[in-house]
Amino acid sequence: MVHLDVLIVGAGLSGIGAAYRLQTQAPSHSYAILEARDDLGGTWDLFRYPGVRSDSDMFTLGFPFHPWKAAKAIADGPSILEYLHETAATYGIDKHIRFGQRVLKASWSSEDAVWTVETSGDSYTCSFLYVCSGYYNYDSGYVVDFPGLTDFQGQVVHPQHWPEDLDYTGKRVVVIGSGATAVTLVPAMAPAADHVTMLQRSPSYVASRPASDAFSDKLRAVLPERLAHHVIRSKNVAFSSAVYAAFRRWPAHAAWLLNSRVAKLLPDEVPIDPHFTPQYKPWDQRLCLVPDADLFQALRDGSASVVTGEVDTFTSDGIRLRSGEELPADLVVTATGLQMVALGQIDLTVDGRRVHPHETFVYKGMMLSGVPNLAWCIGYTNNSWTLRSDLTSQYVCRLLNHLDATGTAICVPEIDPAEYDAPPRPVVDLSSGYIRRAAGLLPRQGSNGPWRLRQNYPRDILALRYGRVADGTMQFRPAEARLAG
């Protein structure tokens, strides 16, 4: 059985970033990355549907230590995957990845201060387990059992399982959904398809921005690469943080601003209400990004359309809505959402006790109450994922170094739920359907202190990069076997 100081689960953005931080900020610790798939990249290796891209700019979604060099700030999936391969090779991280290693179980022993990790291929032990596999179920997206689905004579696909040989040229396509995947698919498929209809039960807030950043391009032309990257990254973080704060403080004004901008981009025959007027406040759910207004261009040139209504039933050649309207289709894409999981669905036990993530609270947005030597890397919902995941990795390195410096082996955050006067909330606190469906699975957050997950990058810099590691909530102790000896 192989023993390493740290086992990282997942070789996506978070896992590769975590490996770099370990190599540079906690270099005395041996590590390996366990990846269930046959290649690195995580989300960017999994999703292969047309037009797949980031919904954050690559100056903040990319790594702070490895500048993004491509022209487009809003990048497509293959470009991001190439960037991840380049980063892993540049820093020698690829040599530490063990593919085909799906983590199934992890058992903690306080006596030995060790995790025993069982995978689909091998077994390992480690002193610290760092789960960087995100919170999406890679095996299956959310599938709706629509009435009459078996009567449909066309093809039905889910974006998470896009067939490599799917040819939609000249076909009538209906994309069911209104989120980020749907608004990406529609303009990407429209040029080749006969027509693409976006069918949504209710609309989402959307915003258009250029795929390329003219200011950033000018800055990169005159400044050294790393300095330009730092300046652009800081500018983008400041702007996105300020916009989020303003939208949350003045939601009515934010809704008016978003709707008025969309109205200017729509053709006259597409009314903003009901097709682009959501019933929730901005940032109660994630904002959908439309780079270069491509969705609206497809609506204007007639290659795509949008319909707001509910499915009554599938028919042999399309979909009938409750309004009675019929949408003919040769291909239906069910962009109906994702399924969330906690900690990669790893079966966790601590000293023989089964850990149910929903019964735990999240400490500093990464560790679970009562669970020793384990961190879960999740990013922001209101900003680029990597901004928070990188801070989390830096804090994990500080934690490991503190254990070494104090001669302790165990770190565990402890909470007394009676301290909090507000009901706990899911760790991901949005009203989106995929999050509501996972409410009984995800760990919870408290109302204040280190048990609250704030969507605030400047505050998290202070707390995670500079705050005290020994803060009174995190408990440190040697292994029980050492105490007994």
Tokens 């039960």: give the residue: 201
| Lowest pLDDT segment from 298-302, 367-371, 378-382 | 378-382
- pLDDT value at position 449? 85
Q: Is the predicted pLDDT of residue 418 greater than 70, yes or no?
A: no
Mean pLDDT over residues 85-112, rounded? 97
Better-predicted residue by pLDDT, 361 or 440: 361
- pLDDT value at position 110? 95
Say if strands 123-131 and 114-119 run parallel, antiparallel, or are unpaired: antiparallel
In the structure, what pLDDT confidence band is assigned to residue 479 with cuts at 50, 70 and 90?
Answer: confident
Q: Is the predicted pLDDT of residue 484 greater than 60, yes or no?
A: no
Rounded mean pLDDT of the chain?
93
428 with 435: CB under 8 angstroms?
Answer: yes
**164-186 pLDDT tens trace:** 999 999 999 999 999 999 999 99
Token pair recorded at residue 163: 């067939």
Task: Report the sign of the C-alpha dihedral through residues 384, 386, 389, 394, in that order.
Answer: negative
- pLDDT value at position 66? 96
Distance in angstroms (rounded) separating the CA atoms of residues 80 and 76: 6
| Lowest pLDDT segment from 319-328, 341-350, 450-459 | 450-459
Q: Is the predicted pLDDT of residue 122 greater than 50, yes or no?
A: yes
**288-297 pLDDT tens trace:** 999 999 999 9
Q: Is the predicted pLDDT of residue 151 greater than 70, yes or no?
A: yes
In the structure, what pLDDT confidence band is assigned to residue 339 with cuts at 50, 70 and 90?
Answer: confident
Q: Which domains does the chain have, with CATH numbers?
A: 2-139+339-484 (3.50.50.60), 149-334 (3.50.50.60)
Q: What is the CA radius of gyration of the chain?
A: 23
Distance in angstroms (rounded) separating the CA atoms of residues 18 and 390: 7
In the structure, what pLDDT confidence band is assigned to residue 116 with cuts at 50, 70 and 90?
Answer: very high
Tokens 């957050």: give the residue: 445
- pLDDT value at position 217? 87
- pLDDT value at position 421? 57
Q: Is the predicted pLDDT of residue 465 greater than 70, yes or no?
A: yes
**238-289 pLDDT tens trace:** 999 999 999 999 999 999 999 999 999 999 999 999 999 999 999 888 899 9
In the structure, what pLDDT confidence band is assigned to residue 420 with cuts at 50, 70 and 90?
Answer: low
**17-36 pLDDT tens trace:** 999 999 999 999 999 999 99
Better-predicted residue by pLDDT, 430 or 20: 20
- pLDDT value at position 485? 47
Closest C-alpha among 331, 335, 295 to residue 166: 331
Q: In Å, what is the CA distance from 24 to each residue of 47, 395, 408?
A: 31, 13, 22
Q: Is the predicted pLDDT of residue 447 greater than 90, yes or no?
A: no
pLDDT-above-70 percentage for the chain: 97
Distance in angstroms (rounded) separating the CA atoms of residues 484 and 305: 71
> What SS3 state is found at 356?
coil
Tokens 């292994």: give the residue: 479
φ, ψ of residue 53 in degrees (nearest 5): -160, 170
Distance in angstroms (rounded) separating the CA atoms of residues 58 and 233: 9
